[in-house]
Chain A
Amino acid sequence: MQSGTARTRHISAASAARSRPLDEIFAALSDPIRRGIIERLAQGPCSVTQLGAPYGVSAPAISKHLGVLERSGLIVRWKVGRVHYCRLAAAPLAEAASWIERHRAFWSRQLDALGDYLEREDNRCDPPSTADRPE
């Protein structure tokens, strides 16, 4: 446990994932620096100072990016003494990845079905030029 004076800021990742609209998550992921931060945090929790180091931007700028990520529910920030830390909240990321995966699979199937339909129509309208194809 942390000492009583260490201020902690926590949100429930599960409840955040429920209530955050997906587009807020995608919006948060739309910036290359924020994506870099997410990728770094995918390796494990990290101090804010370490997180900002690779980007050569000011601490307030990094803090702004972290604010966006935190509001989207993608990360959780807390403070121990004077050091700020961050970690990934997996649920919203899984939600975003799930959207992509589901829709890619869905549309891929739909386009297969459309292709089959167009070929069926072809066989119906045109004299068959090759051996019978299965219906």
Chain B
Amino acid sequence: MRSAIHGGPAGIGPAGTGIALQRRFRASPHRVFRAWTEPAALREWWCPPGWVAGEIAIDLRPGGTYRIEMRRIGGGERLAISGRFLDVTPPRRLVFTWIWDGAFAETAPTLVTLEIDGSPDETLLTLRHENFADPGTRHQHRTGWIAACNRLDRVVTPVREPYRHLTD
């Protein structure tokens, strides 16, 4: 996965302003696209163990909004992700803004881009999560700060706590 982070011929664009992951699936691009965009499918895979999907609302069109709620099983904790679709091109591309509600509240929306490529049997999914949701800002900062941050990991201690309750 990390090998895909810095782009190259695999299709990670020049933006490179956030994390990027690539994964192959034994499924068609259509199935992968549906898994991301249909509430019934999202319920099946989106929530980590110990969590269950609450309300899922998806208005799948450019400019449409989405919201996915998660509830901790047997507890009152709730999390939600919401945002707006910027590009909806089934089954090849899905771009949406991303805002954590609740525990991970962030200062500004970030941007997630899914690029889905493949054959009926196999799909290559490229997922980018960038820190600048605003296209203007993103354009200005189109350089690879991630390499620096990777090096800086050595001199700072990443804080992992915010996700602890998603993994236990």
Interface residues of A (CB under 8 A from B): 21-23, 26-27, 29-32, 35, 38-39, 42, 88, 90, 93-111, 113-122
**B162 CB-CB contact with A under 8 Å:** yes
A102 B162 Cβ-Cβ under 8 A: yes
Interface residues of B (CB under 8 A from A): 1, 17-19, 21, 23, 25-27, 31-32, 35, 41, 44-46, 48, 104, 106-108, 125, 127, 129, 131-132, 137, 140-143, 145-146, 148-153, 155-160, 162-163, 166-167
Residues of chain B lying within 8 A (CB to CB) of residue A39? 148, 151-152
Please name the residue on chain A nearest to B134 by beta carbon. Answer: A23
B93 to chain A, nearest CB (A): 17
Residues of chain A lying within 8 A (CB to CB) of residue B35? 114, 117-118
B31 A118 Cβ-Cβ under 8 A: yes
Task: Give the secondary structure class of A's interface.
Answer: helix
B108 A21 Cβ-Cβ under 8 A: yes
Task: Give the secondary structure class of B's interface.
Answer: mixed
Please name the residue on chain A nearest to B47 by beta carbon. Answer: A113
Partner of A111, one of B27, B48, B125, B156: B125
Please name the residue on chain A nearest to B5 by beta carbon. Answer: A104
Given contacts A22-B106, A93-B156, A107-B19, contact A31 B26 (CB under 8 A): no
B148 A118 Cβ-Cβ under 8 A: no
Q: How many residue pairs, one in A and one in B, have C-beta atoms under 8 Å apart?
A: 127
B96 to chain A, nearest CB (A): 14
Residues of chain A lying within 8 A (CB to CB) of residue B1? 108
A26 B156 Cβ-Cβ under 8 A: no
**Cα distance A116–B48 when bound, in Å?**
12
**Cα distance A118–B26 when bound, in Å?**
8
A108 B148 Cβ-Cβ under 8 A: no
Most buried by A among B32, B44, B152, B167: B152
B155 A42 Cβ-Cβ under 8 A: yes
A23 B132 Cβ-Cβ under 8 A: yes
Residues of chain B lying within 8 A (CB to CB) of residue A103? 18-19, 129
A38 to chain B, nearest CB (A): 7
Residues of chain B lying within 8 A (CB to CB) of residue A105? 160, 163
